[in-house]
Amino acid sequence: MIRRSFISGLTLFAVVPLSSCDKARNAAGKATSVVKEKIAEGLSNQGTTADPELQKSVDQTAEGVVFRKDLPFPPRIEIRTTRRRTIECRLLSQSLLEKRTESVSGTEIRIFKIERASHHVRYTQEQSTFSVPSKDPAKNEDQIIANPLDPSVPITRPIEFRKKDGKWKGYASGDFRATVIAKQISPVFDRLLADHAAAPRPLWFSKRRFKPGDRIDVSGDTLPMLMEGAKKGNITLVLEKIEAVDGHPCVVFQVSGDYKREDFPHFDGTVADEDVTVSSGKMWFSLLYPIILREELDTIQTFSTGPGGTAVTQGRGSVKISVTRSWKSI
């Protein structure tokens, strides 16, 4: 790992009178304090305030910060996720009746809530829309259309999961499709929880201290630390700063590289293959728990999605991804 100094041009001048040991100690103490304050400024939040109670648990010194993984993961949490994908791609859609190729340019927004109380989880999709720029020059608003990436009707009823004897089982009252989806994703539910910050990621940072400018290369068996289910690729992280997400203290990493994952499940019951190049972006990693709370990525992707691993939609193009999680212990 490469460490870089993030404070340049800092020079210490210590004028210490020889007539007093006490004055010498005071001067040395003040000089040390100045250095620590300057270093702390480089590690501090950049315009975003962390919750004071959460900040107390941050392991931060003048030498850097440690990603904690020793704190007990909260038994009761609520997470509201807003996921935005702005897409310009060539899309191939298949069904029993036809095969259609089209150019797609628009924005998909999904908002969903995960409530977890130990071995009981409730998933609720609150919004699922796809919008394109209006063709009417007199209107500034985007036009909502049927989602070309997912033609199925969004599930509005909550899906509940309970863990018993080490296995998750899904329930959805009054909605046959939701019940089927709950059954499909139950075997991989632990992976979904980790990918959506509802469970700690099994792989995380070492106990060393990190500071701005540090570089980390993630590849091979360590890729699931960033993307659950990723099998191949190489992602480079460069530590930029500390910044809170909805009051939660995080470290911001610049991100670039590529990764590939196959048969990755989603809460809507689809399974996806993704081959992704991240040209630029940022990710916000919690300093308290092994979770990721925000992502902003510019990517080029080749992807395919479908129920139960059967490819129904295939596409290639540019995808801008924005994921923000409001994460609360309750």
Domain assignment present for 137: yes
With cut-offs at 50, 70 and 90, classify the pLDDT of residue 172.
confident
Region 214-226: mean pLDDT is 94
Residue 201, φ and ψ in degrees, nearest 5: -70, 135
The rounded percent of the chain whose pLDDT value lies above 90 is: 59
Secondary structure E strands in the chain: 59-61, 64-66, 76-94, 99-117, 120-132, 143-145, 159-164, 167-171, 215-219, 230-245, 248-265, 270-286, 292-307, 313-329
**Would you state the pLDDT for residue 48?**
67
Q: What φ, ψ does residue 75 adopt, rounded to 5°?
A: -75, -25
- The reply to whether 35 falls in a domain is no
More confident residue, 302 or 16: 302
| Percent over 70 (pLDDT), the chain | 83
**Residue 48 maps to a domain:** no
Query: Which pLDDT band, with edges at 50, 70 and 90, does 62 fall under?
Result: very high
| Stretch 34-46: mean pLDDT | 40
Question: How many structural domains compose the chain?
Answer: 1
The answer to whether residue 14 scores a pLDDT higher than 80 is: no
9 domain residue, yes or no: no
Range of the domain at 303: 76-329
In this predicted structure, what is the pLDDT of residue 20? 39
Give me the amino acid identity at 182. A
Q: Is the pTM of this model over 0.75?
A: yes
Q: Quote the pLDDT of residue 84.
A: 97
Sequence-ordered alpha helix ranges (H) in the chain: 21-43, 52-55, 176-185, 189-195
Instruction: Indicate whether 63 belongs to any domain.
Output: no
* 247 within some domain: yes
Render pLDDT for 314-326 as a digit per residue (tens, 0 to 9): 999 999 999 999 9
Q: What is the mean pLDDT of residues 192-213?
A: 95
66 — pLDDT class (breaks 50, 70, 90): very high
In which band, very low, low, confident or very high, does the pLDDT at 91 lie, cut at 50, 70 and 90?
A: very high
Q: Is residue 116 part of a domain?
A: yes
Q: Is 59's pLDDT higher than 80?
A: yes
Return the pLDDT at 21: 40
Lowest mean pLDDT among 40-49, 86-95, 263-272, 276-285: 40-49
For residues 39 and 61, the answer to whether their CB atoms sit within 8 Å is no
